[in-house]
Structure 1
Amino acid sequence: MALFLEPVFQQRIWGGRNLEQFGYDIPTDTTGECWGISAHPHGPNRVINGPYKGETLDQLWKSHRELFGNDSRDTFPLLTKILDANDKLSVQVHPDDDYARQHAGESGKTECWYILDCKEDAEIIYGVDADSKKEVEELIDKQAFDDLFHRVKVKPGDFYYVPAGTVHAIGEGIMILETQQSSDTTYRIYDYDRKDKDGNKRDLHLEESKAVIDVSNKTPNTTPEVTKYGENTYTEFVSNHFFTVGKWEVAESLNYEKPHSYCLISVIEGSGIVEVDGENFDIEKGTHFILTSEDKNITFKGQLTFIVSYS
Protein backbone atom coordinates (compact mmCIF):
# COMPACT_ATOMS: atom_id res chain seq x y z
CA MET A 1 0.00 0.00 0.00
CA ALA A 2 1.21 3.50 -0.84
CA LEU A 3 2.29 5.52 2.20
CA PHE A 4 0.70 8.98 2.29
CA LEU A 5 2.47 11.43 4.56
CA GLU A 6 1.51 14.39 6.72
CA PRO A 7 3.77 17.37 5.97
CA VAL A 8 6.05 18.80 8.65
CA PHE A 9 6.46 22.59 8.58
CA GLN A 10 9.64 24.40 9.57
CA GLN A 11 9.77 28.05 10.63
CA ARG A 12 12.50 30.11 9.03
CA ILE A 13 13.55 33.75 9.31
CA TRP A 14 13.12 34.04 5.52
CA GLY A 15 9.77 32.19 5.27
CA GLY A 16 6.32 33.50 4.42
CA ARG A 17 2.82 32.21 3.61
CA ASN A 18 3.27 31.06 0.02
CA LEU A 19 3.08 27.39 0.96
CA GLU A 20 -0.66 27.96 1.26
CA GLN A 21 -0.66 27.67 -2.56
CA PHE A 22 -0.30 23.91 -2.02
CA GLY A 23 -3.41 23.70 0.14
CA TYR A 24 -1.45 23.51 3.38
CA ASP A 25 -2.69 24.91 6.66
CA ILE A 26 0.60 26.51 7.62
CA PRO A 27 1.25 27.54 11.22
CA THR A 28 2.81 31.03 10.96
CA ASP A 29 3.71 33.95 8.70
CA THR A 30 7.32 32.74 8.58
CA THR A 31 6.78 29.17 7.39
CA GLY A 32 9.78 28.51 5.21
CA GLU A 33 9.78 24.79 4.55
CA CYS A 34 7.38 21.90 4.05
CA TRP A 35 9.16 18.63 4.68
CA GLY A 36 7.01 16.43 2.49
CA ILE A 37 8.94 13.14 2.66
CA SER A 38 11.29 12.93 5.62
CA ALA A 39 12.62 10.37 8.07
CA HIS A 40 15.16 12.85 9.46
CA PRO A 41 15.05 13.27 13.26
CA HIS A 42 14.50 17.03 12.86
CA GLY A 43 11.13 16.40 11.20
CA PRO A 44 9.91 12.88 10.40
CA ASN A 45 6.57 12.58 8.59
CA ARG A 46 3.65 10.62 9.98
CA VAL A 47 1.74 8.14 7.81
CA ILE A 48 -1.91 9.15 7.39
CA ASN A 49 -3.41 6.02 5.80
CA GLY A 50 -3.56 2.26 5.96
CA PRO A 51 -2.26 -0.23 8.51
CA TYR A 52 0.71 1.98 9.41
CA LYS A 53 -1.39 5.10 10.07
CA GLY A 54 0.14 7.15 12.89
CA GLU A 55 3.63 5.72 12.57
CA THR A 56 6.49 7.96 11.53
CA LEU A 57 8.60 7.27 8.48
CA ASP A 58 11.73 6.74 10.56
CA GLN A 59 9.87 4.14 12.65
CA LEU A 60 8.74 2.30 9.52
CA TRP A 61 12.27 2.38 8.14
CA LYS A 62 13.50 0.61 11.28
CA SER A 63 10.68 -1.90 11.71
CA HIS A 64 9.38 -2.63 8.21
CA ARG A 65 12.38 -2.51 5.90
CA GLU A 66 10.53 -4.88 3.55
CA LEU A 67 8.47 -1.88 2.41
CA PHE A 68 11.68 -0.38 1.08
CA GLY A 69 13.09 -3.36 -0.78
CA ASN A 70 15.09 -4.37 2.33
CA ASP A 71 17.38 -1.42 1.69
CA SER A 72 20.50 -2.08 3.78
CA ARG A 73 21.42 1.54 4.51
CA ASP A 74 21.33 2.71 8.12
CA THR A 75 19.10 5.71 7.42
CA PHE A 76 16.37 6.59 4.95
CA PRO A 77 18.42 8.14 2.14
CA LEU A 78 16.40 11.12 0.87
CA LEU A 79 14.46 14.15 2.04
CA THR A 80 11.94 16.04 -0.11
CA LYS A 81 11.09 19.66 0.74
CA ILE A 82 9.15 22.57 -0.67
CA LEU A 83 10.77 25.89 0.22
CA ASP A 84 9.16 29.34 0.25
CA ALA A 85 11.95 31.89 0.03
CA ASN A 86 9.82 34.91 0.88
CA ASP A 87 13.16 36.56 1.67
CA LYS A 88 16.62 35.53 0.51
CA LEU A 89 18.30 32.63 2.27
CA SER A 90 21.74 32.82 3.80
CA VAL A 91 24.66 32.01 1.54
CA GLN A 92 25.80 28.57 2.59
CA VAL A 93 27.60 25.38 1.71
CA HIS A 94 27.09 21.75 2.70
CA PRO A 95 29.78 19.16 3.44
CA ASP A 96 30.32 15.91 1.58
CA ASP A 97 29.80 12.52 3.20
CA ASP A 98 33.31 12.11 4.58
CA TYR A 99 33.48 15.53 6.25
CA ALA A 100 29.90 15.38 7.56
CA ARG A 101 30.27 11.93 9.11
CA GLN A 102 33.48 12.99 10.81
CA HIS A 103 32.24 16.35 12.09
CA ALA A 104 28.43 16.21 12.18
CA GLY A 105 27.57 12.55 12.68
CA GLU A 106 25.36 12.25 9.59
CA SER A 107 25.65 12.04 5.81
CA GLY A 108 26.71 14.94 3.65
CA LYS A 109 24.20 17.01 1.76
CA THR A 110 24.08 16.93 -2.01
CA GLU A 111 20.79 18.40 -3.20
CA CYS A 112 18.91 19.61 -6.26
CA TRP A 113 16.24 22.23 -6.93
CA TYR A 114 13.23 22.36 -9.23
CA ILE A 115 11.99 25.96 -9.54
CA LEU A 116 8.24 25.81 -8.93
CA ASP A 117 7.60 29.54 -9.15
CA CYS A 118 9.49 32.79 -8.82
CA LYS A 119 9.15 36.50 -9.26
CA GLU A 120 10.48 38.18 -12.38
CA ASP A 121 14.28 38.57 -12.40
CA ALA A 122 14.66 36.24 -9.42
CA GLU A 123 18.15 34.88 -8.93
CA ILE A 124 20.12 32.32 -7.00
CA ILE A 125 23.73 32.23 -5.91
CA TYR A 126 25.46 29.22 -7.43
CA GLY A 127 29.22 28.76 -7.03
CA VAL A 128 32.02 31.25 -6.61
CA ASP A 129 33.90 33.58 -8.93
CA ALA A 130 37.28 32.39 -7.67
CA ASP A 131 39.87 30.02 -9.09
CA SER A 132 41.43 28.57 -5.94
CA LYS A 133 40.69 27.76 -2.32
CA LYS A 134 43.24 30.38 -1.32
CA GLU A 135 41.37 33.07 -3.26
CA VAL A 136 38.08 31.97 -1.69
CA GLU A 137 39.55 32.21 1.79
CA GLU A 138 40.98 35.65 1.10
CA LEU A 139 37.66 36.98 -0.22
CA ILE A 140 35.79 35.53 2.77
CA ASP A 141 38.27 37.07 5.20
CA LYS A 142 37.88 40.47 3.48
CA GLN A 143 34.09 39.99 3.32
CA ALA A 144 34.33 40.80 -0.39
CA PHE A 145 31.16 38.87 -1.09
CA ASP A 146 30.12 40.82 -4.19
CA ASP A 147 33.32 39.56 -5.81
CA LEU A 148 32.95 36.03 -4.48
CA PHE A 149 29.37 34.90 -5.10
CA HIS A 150 28.24 33.91 -8.60
CA ARG A 151 24.63 34.89 -9.36
CA VAL A 152 22.27 33.17 -11.83
CA LYS A 153 18.84 34.30 -13.06
CA VAL A 154 16.12 31.67 -12.73
CA LYS A 155 12.63 30.99 -14.08
CA PRO A 156 9.87 28.46 -13.32
CA GLY A 157 10.72 24.98 -14.59
CA ASP A 158 14.48 25.38 -14.21
CA PHE A 159 16.43 22.63 -12.49
CA TYR A 160 19.71 22.96 -10.60
CA TYR A 161 21.95 20.19 -9.29
CA VAL A 162 23.82 21.37 -6.18
CA PRO A 163 26.59 18.96 -5.16
CA ALA A 164 28.08 19.11 -1.69
CA GLY A 165 30.75 21.80 -1.59
CA THR A 166 28.81 24.21 -3.84
CA VAL A 167 28.35 27.70 -2.44
CA HIS A 168 24.66 28.51 -2.93
CA ALA A 169 21.67 30.55 -1.84
CA ILE A 170 18.03 30.75 -2.90
CA GLY A 171 17.03 34.32 -3.67
CA GLU A 172 13.96 36.27 -2.61
CA GLY A 173 10.67 35.38 -4.26
CA ILE A 174 11.46 31.78 -5.24
CA MET A 175 9.59 28.58 -4.46
CA ILE A 176 11.43 25.33 -5.06
CA LEU A 177 11.02 21.62 -4.60
CA GLU A 178 14.26 20.31 -3.18
CA THR A 179 15.42 16.70 -3.25
CA GLN A 180 18.43 16.06 -1.04
CA GLN A 181 20.37 13.55 0.95
CA SER A 182 18.74 13.12 4.35
CA SER A 183 20.97 15.54 6.18
CA ASP A 184 20.46 18.86 7.95
CA THR A 185 24.08 20.03 8.17
CA THR A 186 24.51 23.57 6.82
CA TYR A 187 27.44 25.98 7.07
CA ARG A 188 26.54 29.67 6.70
CA ILE A 189 29.00 31.99 5.00
CA TYR A 190 26.94 35.20 4.92
CA ASP A 191 23.52 36.14 6.29
CA TYR A 192 23.11 39.82 5.33
CA ASP A 193 23.62 40.81 8.99
CA ARG A 194 20.03 39.78 9.75
CA LYS A 195 18.80 39.33 13.29
CA ASP A 196 16.45 36.69 14.60
CA LYS A 197 13.29 37.33 16.63
CA ASP A 198 15.44 37.76 19.74
CA GLY A 199 17.61 40.42 18.11
CA ASN A 200 20.63 38.17 17.65
CA LYS A 201 22.59 37.60 14.47
CA ARG A 202 22.57 33.97 13.35
CA ASP A 203 25.81 32.03 13.67
CA LEU A 204 28.21 31.86 10.75
CA HIS A 205 30.50 28.88 10.10
CA LEU A 206 33.39 30.40 8.20
CA GLU A 207 36.13 27.92 9.05
CA GLU A 208 33.92 24.93 8.27
CA SER A 209 32.85 26.61 5.03
CA LYS A 210 36.44 27.19 3.96
CA ALA A 211 37.17 23.53 4.63
CA VAL A 212 34.40 22.15 2.41
CA ILE A 213 33.97 24.65 -0.46
CA ASP A 214 34.63 23.13 -3.88
CA VAL A 215 35.71 25.93 -6.21
CA SER A 216 35.12 23.76 -9.30
CA ASN A 217 31.33 23.87 -8.78
CA LYS A 218 30.63 27.04 -10.75
CA THR A 219 27.77 26.31 -13.14
CA PRO A 220 24.79 23.95 -13.13
CA ASN A 221 25.91 20.81 -14.90
CA THR A 222 22.86 18.72 -15.79
CA THR A 223 21.11 18.28 -19.12
CA PRO A 224 17.47 17.16 -18.76
CA GLU A 225 16.45 14.22 -20.94
CA VAL A 226 12.84 14.42 -22.20
CA THR A 227 10.92 11.32 -23.33
CA LYS A 228 7.35 11.18 -24.65
CA TYR A 229 5.08 8.26 -23.76
CA GLY A 230 1.99 8.90 -25.84
CA GLU A 231 0.40 12.03 -24.38
CA ASN A 232 2.56 11.86 -21.27
CA THR A 233 6.04 13.31 -20.83
CA TYR A 234 8.89 12.24 -18.56
CA THR A 235 11.87 14.52 -17.92
CA GLU A 236 14.87 13.03 -16.15
CA PHE A 237 16.87 15.80 -14.52
CA VAL A 238 19.68 13.95 -12.80
CA SER A 239 20.72 10.38 -12.09
CA ASN A 240 23.77 9.49 -10.01
CA HIS A 241 24.70 7.51 -6.90
CA PHE A 242 23.00 10.11 -4.66
CA PHE A 243 19.59 10.10 -6.35
CA THR A 244 17.58 10.02 -9.54
CA VAL A 245 15.08 12.86 -9.92
CA GLY A 246 12.54 13.32 -12.71
CA LYS A 247 9.22 14.91 -13.58
CA TRP A 248 6.12 13.23 -15.00
CA GLU A 249 3.49 15.31 -16.81
CA VAL A 250 0.34 13.19 -17.06
CA ALA A 251 -2.30 14.16 -19.63
CA GLU A 252 -5.04 11.66 -18.75
CA SER A 253 -3.71 8.25 -17.75
CA LEU A 254 -0.31 6.74 -17.01
CA ASN A 255 0.36 3.08 -16.30
CA TYR A 256 3.36 3.52 -14.06
CA GLU A 257 6.15 1.00 -13.73
CA LYS A 258 8.32 1.82 -10.74
CA PRO A 259 11.97 2.27 -11.76
CA HIS A 260 13.11 1.37 -8.24
CA SER A 261 11.82 -0.84 -5.43
CA TYR A 262 10.39 2.25 -3.71
CA CYS A 263 9.80 5.74 -5.11
CA LEU A 264 9.10 9.14 -3.57
CA ILE A 265 6.29 11.11 -5.24
CA SER A 266 5.37 14.80 -4.83
CA VAL A 267 2.46 16.26 -6.82
CA ILE A 268 3.29 19.81 -7.89
CA GLU A 269 0.41 20.63 -10.27
CA GLY A 270 -3.12 19.44 -10.99
CA SER A 271 -5.16 16.68 -9.40
CA GLY A 272 -6.43 13.17 -10.05
CA ILE A 273 -6.17 9.72 -8.55
CA VAL A 274 -3.51 7.09 -8.21
CA GLU A 275 -4.75 3.51 -8.35
CA VAL A 276 -2.49 1.13 -6.45
CA ASP A 277 -3.28 -2.57 -6.69
CA GLY A 278 -6.98 -1.83 -7.20
CA GLU A 279 -7.30 0.84 -4.48
CA ASN A 280 -7.89 4.47 -5.47
CA PHE A 281 -6.35 7.45 -3.70
CA ASP A 282 -7.18 11.09 -4.43
CA ILE A 283 -4.08 13.17 -5.11
CA GLU A 284 -3.59 16.87 -5.76
CA LYS A 285 -1.00 19.62 -5.74
CA GLY A 286 0.83 19.32 -2.43
CA THR A 287 0.35 15.56 -1.93
CA HIS A 288 3.43 13.56 -0.93
CA PHE A 289 3.60 9.77 -0.79
CA ILE A 290 5.84 6.75 -1.20
CA LEU A 291 5.19 3.86 -3.54
CA THR A 292 6.60 0.94 -1.57
CA SER A 293 8.17 -2.27 -2.81
CA GLU A 294 4.82 -3.99 -2.19
CA ASP A 295 2.99 -1.74 -4.68
CA LYS A 296 2.83 -3.48 -8.07
CA ASN A 297 -0.01 -2.28 -10.32
CA ILE A 298 -0.01 1.52 -10.42
CA THR A 299 -2.01 3.90 -12.61
CA PHE A 300 -2.17 7.69 -12.43
CA LYS A 301 -5.35 9.28 -13.78
CA GLY A 302 -6.05 12.97 -14.27
CA GLN A 303 -4.14 16.02 -15.41
CA LEU A 304 -1.23 16.35 -13.05
CA THR A 305 2.50 16.82 -12.72
CA PHE A 306 4.62 15.06 -10.14
CA ILE A 307 8.26 14.83 -9.16
CA VAL A 308 9.62 11.32 -8.57
CA SER A 309 12.88 10.46 -6.86
CA TYR A 310 14.71 7.42 -5.60
CA SER A 311 18.18 6.42 -4.46
Structure 2
Amino acid sequence: MAVQWIKRYTGVRNRGINPRGFHISQIKFYVVLIPLSALMLLPIIYIFSSAFKPPDELFAYPPRFFVTNPTTKNFTDLLNLLSTSGIPISRYLFNSILITVVTVSLSIFVSSAAAYSLSKKKFKLKQILFAVNNIALMFVPIAVTIPRFLVIENLGLLDTFWVHILPVLAMPVGLFLLKQFIDGIPDEVIEAAQIDGASDVWIYLRIVLPMIQPALATIAILTFQAAWNNAEISTLYINNESLRTLAFYLSTLTTTTTGANAVAGQGLAAAAALIMFVPNLVIFIILQRQVMSTMSHSGLK
Protein backbone atom coordinates (compact mmCIF):
# COMPACT_ATOMS: atom_id res chain seq x y z
CA MET A 1 0.00 0.00 0.00
CA ALA A 2 2.78 2.41 0.91
CA VAL A 3 4.60 1.66 -2.36
CA GLN A 4 1.44 2.46 -4.36
CA TRP A 5 1.08 5.81 -2.61
CA ILE A 6 4.75 6.62 -3.31
CA LYS A 7 4.37 5.81 -7.01
CA ARG A 8 1.21 7.88 -7.22
CA TYR A 9 2.80 10.82 -5.46
CA THR A 10 6.04 10.81 -7.45
CA GLY A 11 4.09 10.36 -10.65
CA VAL A 12 2.18 13.57 -10.01
CA ARG A 13 5.38 15.41 -9.14
CA ASN A 14 7.16 14.36 -12.35
CA ARG A 15 4.55 15.84 -14.70
CA GLY A 16 5.40 19.37 -15.70
CA ILE A 17 6.50 21.70 -18.47
CA ASN A 18 8.98 20.20 -20.91
CA PRO A 19 12.00 22.55 -21.00
CA ARG A 20 13.05 21.16 -24.42
CA GLY A 21 9.84 22.40 -26.03
CA PHE A 22 10.16 25.74 -27.83
CA HIS A 23 7.50 28.06 -29.22
CA ILE A 24 7.83 31.38 -30.96
CA SER A 25 5.93 33.02 -28.10
CA GLN A 26 8.83 32.21 -25.75
CA ILE A 27 11.24 34.57 -27.53
CA LYS A 28 10.28 37.45 -25.24
CA PHE A 29 11.52 35.44 -22.25
CA TYR A 30 14.88 34.71 -23.91
CA VAL A 31 15.30 38.40 -24.78
CA VAL A 32 15.13 39.19 -21.06
CA LEU A 33 16.83 36.11 -19.58
CA ILE A 34 19.88 35.90 -21.86
CA PRO A 35 21.21 39.40 -20.95
CA LEU A 36 20.49 38.72 -17.27
CA SER A 37 22.38 35.42 -17.48
CA ALA A 38 25.33 37.15 -19.14
CA LEU A 39 25.32 39.78 -16.39
CA MET A 40 25.39 37.08 -13.72
CA LEU A 41 28.31 35.37 -15.45
CA LEU A 42 30.48 38.49 -15.36
CA PRO A 43 31.73 38.01 -11.74
CA ILE A 44 32.70 34.40 -12.52
CA ILE A 45 34.55 35.46 -15.66
CA TYR A 46 36.29 38.24 -13.71
CA ILE A 47 37.51 35.79 -11.04
CA PHE A 48 39.11 33.56 -13.68
CA SER A 49 40.49 36.54 -15.59
CA SER A 50 42.05 38.21 -12.53
CA ALA A 51 43.77 35.00 -11.43
CA PHE A 52 45.76 34.85 -14.68
CA LYS A 53 46.58 38.57 -14.95
CA PRO A 54 50.19 39.76 -14.60
CA PRO A 55 50.79 42.59 -12.09
CA ASP A 56 50.75 45.34 -14.73
CA GLU A 57 47.24 44.32 -15.82
CA LEU A 58 45.98 43.97 -12.25
CA PHE A 59 46.87 47.62 -11.58
CA ALA A 60 46.23 48.99 -15.07
CA TYR A 61 44.22 52.19 -15.40
CA PRO A 62 41.61 52.21 -16.70
CA PRO A 63 41.03 48.70 -15.35
CA ARG A 64 40.78 45.86 -17.85
CA PHE A 65 38.05 43.30 -17.45
CA PHE A 66 39.62 40.57 -19.58
CA VAL A 67 43.22 39.40 -19.37
CA THR A 68 45.30 40.09 -22.48
CA ASN A 69 48.55 38.33 -21.53
CA PRO A 70 47.57 35.38 -19.32
CA THR A 71 50.20 33.95 -17.01
CA THR A 72 50.42 31.29 -14.32
CA LYS A 73 52.91 33.33 -12.29
CA ASN A 74 50.33 34.09 -9.59
CA PHE A 75 49.78 30.38 -8.99
CA THR A 76 53.52 29.67 -9.06
CA ASP A 77 54.20 32.41 -6.51
CA LEU A 78 51.33 31.12 -4.38
CA LEU A 79 52.70 27.58 -4.37
CA ASN A 80 56.18 28.86 -3.53
CA LEU A 81 54.81 30.87 -0.63
CA LEU A 82 52.80 27.92 0.63
CA SER A 83 55.92 25.73 0.57
CA THR A 84 57.68 28.11 2.99
CA SER A 85 54.89 27.92 5.56
CA GLY A 86 55.66 26.37 8.94
CA ILE A 87 52.55 24.21 8.60
CA PRO A 88 52.36 22.14 5.38
CA ILE A 89 49.66 23.23 2.95
CA SER A 90 48.41 19.64 2.97
CA ARG A 91 47.44 20.10 6.62
CA TYR A 92 45.26 23.13 5.89
CA LEU A 93 43.70 21.31 2.94
CA PHE A 94 43.05 18.18 5.00
CA ASN A 95 41.39 20.24 7.72
CA SER A 96 39.13 21.99 5.22
CA ILE A 97 38.10 18.76 3.48
CA LEU A 98 37.46 16.88 6.72
CA ILE A 99 35.49 19.73 8.30
CA THR A 100 33.44 20.29 5.15
CA VAL A 101 32.55 16.61 4.65
CA VAL A 102 31.58 16.09 8.29
CA THR A 103 29.62 19.36 8.45
CA VAL A 104 27.65 18.68 5.26
CA SER A 105 26.82 15.10 6.30
CA LEU A 106 25.72 16.00 9.82
CA SER A 107 23.83 19.10 8.70
CA ILE A 108 21.77 17.10 6.20
CA PHE A 109 20.96 14.48 8.84
CA VAL A 110 20.11 16.94 11.63
CA SER A 111 18.05 19.27 9.42
CA SER A 112 16.11 16.49 7.69
CA ALA A 113 15.39 14.55 10.90
CA ALA A 114 14.24 17.70 12.69
CA ALA A 115 12.14 18.77 9.71
CA TYR A 116 10.47 15.34 9.57
CA SER A 117 9.63 15.53 13.27
CA LEU A 118 8.25 19.06 13.02
CA SER A 119 6.23 18.25 9.91
CA LYS A 120 4.75 14.78 10.51
CA LYS A 121 4.96 14.11 14.26
CA LYS A 122 2.69 15.50 16.95
CA PHE A 123 4.21 16.73 20.21
CA LYS A 124 4.01 19.70 22.53
CA LEU A 125 5.84 22.94 21.70
CA LYS A 126 6.18 21.93 18.03
CA GLN A 127 4.89 25.26 16.75
CA ILE A 128 6.98 27.19 19.26
CA LEU A 129 10.17 25.40 18.21
CA PHE A 130 9.50 26.11 14.56
CA ALA A 131 8.76 29.75 15.38
CA VAL A 132 12.10 30.01 17.21
CA ASN A 133 13.82 28.60 14.14
CA ASN A 134 12.12 31.20 11.94
CA ILE A 135 13.13 33.98 14.31
CA ALA A 136 16.74 32.80 14.04
CA LEU A 137 16.55 33.52 10.30
CA MET A 138 16.32 37.23 11.14
CA PHE A 139 19.79 37.43 12.72
CA VAL A 140 22.93 37.87 10.66
CA PRO A 141 25.94 35.85 11.92
CA ILE A 142 27.88 38.91 13.05
CA ALA A 143 25.04 39.84 15.45
CA VAL A 144 25.56 36.66 17.50
CA THR A 145 29.36 36.57 17.45
CA ILE A 146 29.82 37.48 21.13
CA PRO A 147 27.08 35.18 22.51
CA ARG A 148 28.40 32.37 20.32
CA PHE A 149 31.93 32.89 21.63
CA LEU A 150 30.73 32.76 25.23
CA VAL A 151 28.81 29.54 24.58
CA ILE A 152 31.77 27.92 22.81
CA GLU A 153 34.14 28.96 25.60
CA ASN A 154 31.85 27.59 28.33
CA LEU A 155 31.49 24.29 26.46
CA GLY A 156 35.27 23.96 26.22
CA LEU A 157 35.27 23.81 22.42
CA LEU A 158 38.01 26.36 21.79
CA ASP A 159 40.92 24.95 19.79
CA THR A 160 39.04 21.82 18.72
CA PHE A 161 37.73 20.51 15.40
CA TRP A 162 34.18 20.64 16.75
CA VAL A 163 34.28 24.43 16.94
CA HIS A 164 34.43 24.39 13.12
CA ILE A 165 31.45 22.06 12.82
CA LEU A 166 28.87 22.86 15.49
CA PRO A 167 28.28 26.58 14.68
CA VAL A 168 27.57 25.71 11.03
CA LEU A 169 25.66 22.53 11.82
CA ALA A 170 22.44 24.26 12.88
CA MET A 171 21.12 25.98 9.76
CA PRO A 172 17.71 27.61 10.29
CA VAL A 173 17.24 28.03 6.55
CA GLY A 174 17.90 24.31 6.06
CA LEU A 175 15.29 23.28 8.60
CA PHE A 176 12.77 25.74 7.15
CA LEU A 177 13.27 24.60 3.56
CA LEU A 178 13.16 20.89 4.37
CA LYS A 179 10.04 21.26 6.48
CA GLN A 180 8.25 22.94 3.58
CA PHE A 181 9.20 20.04 1.34
CA ILE A 182 8.09 17.40 3.83
CA ASP A 183 4.82 19.26 4.39
CA GLY A 184 4.12 18.56 0.72
CA ILE A 185 4.26 14.79 1.24
CA PRO A 186 0.67 13.56 1.72
CA ASP A 187 -0.06 12.23 5.19
CA GLU A 188 -1.67 9.22 3.50
CA VAL A 189 1.78 8.07 2.35
CA ILE A 190 3.07 8.06 5.93
CA GLU A 191 -0.09 6.45 7.27
CA ALA A 192 0.00 3.72 4.61
CA ALA A 193 3.56 2.86 5.57
CA GLN A 194 2.62 2.76 9.26
CA ILE A 195 -0.28 0.40 8.49
CA ASP A 196 2.18 -1.85 6.68
CA GLY A 197 4.22 -1.98 9.90
CA ALA A 198 7.00 0.46 8.96
CA SER A 199 8.90 2.13 11.78
CA ASP A 200 9.67 5.84 11.94
CA VAL A 201 13.28 5.15 10.98
CA TRP A 202 12.18 3.12 7.92
CA ILE A 203 9.73 5.85 6.88
CA TYR A 204 12.41 8.51 7.30
CA LEU A 205 15.07 6.60 5.35
CA ARG A 206 12.98 4.90 2.65
CA ILE A 207 10.14 7.35 2.03
CA VAL A 208 10.94 10.85 3.25
CA LEU A 209 14.59 11.18 2.19
CA PRO A 210 14.07 9.96 -1.41
CA MET A 211 11.17 12.40 -1.84
CA ILE A 212 13.13 15.45 -0.67
CA GLN A 213 16.37 14.87 -2.59
CA PRO A 214 16.17 18.25 -4.40
CA ALA A 215 15.96 20.07 -1.06
CA LEU A 216 18.79 17.94 0.36
CA ALA A 217 20.99 18.94 -2.58
CA THR A 218 20.25 22.60 -1.91
CA ILE A 219 21.12 22.22 1.77
CA ALA A 220 24.31 20.39 0.79
CA ILE A 221 25.39 23.32 -1.38
CA LEU A 222 24.59 25.94 1.25
CA THR A 223 26.38 23.99 3.98
CA PHE A 224 29.36 23.29 1.73
CA GLN A 225 29.78 26.99 1.00
CA ALA A 226 29.43 27.92 4.66
CA ALA A 227 32.01 25.35 5.79
CA TRP A 228 34.50 25.54 2.90
CA ASN A 229 34.70 29.35 2.75
CA ASN A 230 34.63 29.97 6.51
CA ALA A 231 37.75 31.75 7.75
CA GLU A 232 36.06 33.49 10.68
CA ILE A 233 36.06 30.44 12.97
CA SER A 234 39.79 29.90 12.55
CA THR A 235 40.33 33.57 13.35
CA LEU A 236 38.13 33.85 16.45
CA TYR A 237 38.15 30.43 18.08
CA ILE A 238 41.40 28.72 17.03
CA ASN A 239 44.90 29.47 18.32
CA ASN A 240 46.46 26.17 17.26
CA GLU A 241 47.77 26.69 13.73
CA SER A 242 47.44 23.00 12.87
CA LEU A 243 43.66 23.20 13.38
CA ARG A 244 43.08 26.10 11.01
CA THR A 245 41.62 25.79 7.52
CA LEU A 246 42.74 26.55 4.00
CA ALA A 247 40.29 29.44 3.74
CA PHE A 248 41.87 31.13 6.76
CA TYR A 249 45.42 30.71 5.47
CA LEU A 250 44.65 31.99 1.99
CA SER A 251 42.75 34.95 3.42
CA THR A 252 45.87 36.06 5.32
CA LEU A 253 48.03 36.33 2.20
CA THR A 254 47.02 39.90 1.39
CA THR A 255 47.36 41.06 5.00
CA THR A 256 50.86 39.64 5.43
CA THR A 257 52.26 41.34 2.33
CA THR A 258 53.35 44.95 2.79
CA GLY A 259 55.33 47.52 0.88
CA ALA A 260 56.61 46.33 -2.50
CA ASN A 261 55.23 42.86 -1.82
CA ALA A 262 51.71 44.29 -1.62
CA VAL A 263 51.57 44.41 -5.43
CA ALA A 264 52.45 40.74 -5.68
CA GLY A 265 49.99 40.08 -2.88
CA GLN A 266 47.10 41.13 -5.09
CA GLY A 267 48.07 38.50 -7.63
CA LEU A 268 48.32 35.90 -4.88
CA ALA A 269 44.90 36.92 -3.59
CA ALA A 270 43.41 36.56 -7.07
CA ALA A 271 44.87 33.07 -7.45
CA ALA A 272 43.73 32.10 -3.95
CA ALA A 273 40.22 33.37 -4.66
CA LEU A 274 40.01 31.16 -7.75
CA ILE A 275 41.24 28.12 -5.80
CA MET A 276 38.55 28.66 -3.16
CA PHE A 277 35.87 29.37 -5.76
CA VAL A 278 36.35 26.35 -8.05
CA PRO A 279 35.07 23.69 -5.56
CA ASN A 280 31.91 25.76 -5.02
CA LEU A 281 31.36 25.94 -8.76
CA VAL A 282 31.94 22.21 -9.23
CA ILE A 283 29.51 21.28 -6.45
CA PHE A 284 26.83 23.53 -7.91
CA ILE A 285 27.30 22.13 -11.43
CA ILE A 286 26.96 18.58 -10.11
CA LEU A 287 23.81 19.35 -8.10
CA GLN A 288 22.25 22.06 -10.25
CA ARG A 289 19.44 19.84 -11.56
CA GLN A 290 18.33 19.08 -8.01
CA VAL A 291 18.58 22.75 -7.05
CA MET A 292 16.37 23.76 -9.99
CA SER A 293 13.82 21.19 -8.83
CA THR A 294 13.86 22.85 -5.41
CA MET A 295 13.15 26.24 -6.94
CA SER A 296 10.36 24.77 -9.08
CA HIS A 297 8.80 23.10 -6.04
CA SER A 298 8.90 26.34 -4.05
CA GLY A 299 7.25 28.20 -6.90
CA LEU A 300 4.48 25.64 -7.32
CA LYS A 301 3.65 25.73 -3.61
Larger radius of gyration: 2
Structure with higher strand content = 1
Structure with higher helix content = 2
TM bracket, shorter-chain basis: under 0.3
Give the structure-2-normalised TM-score: 0.25
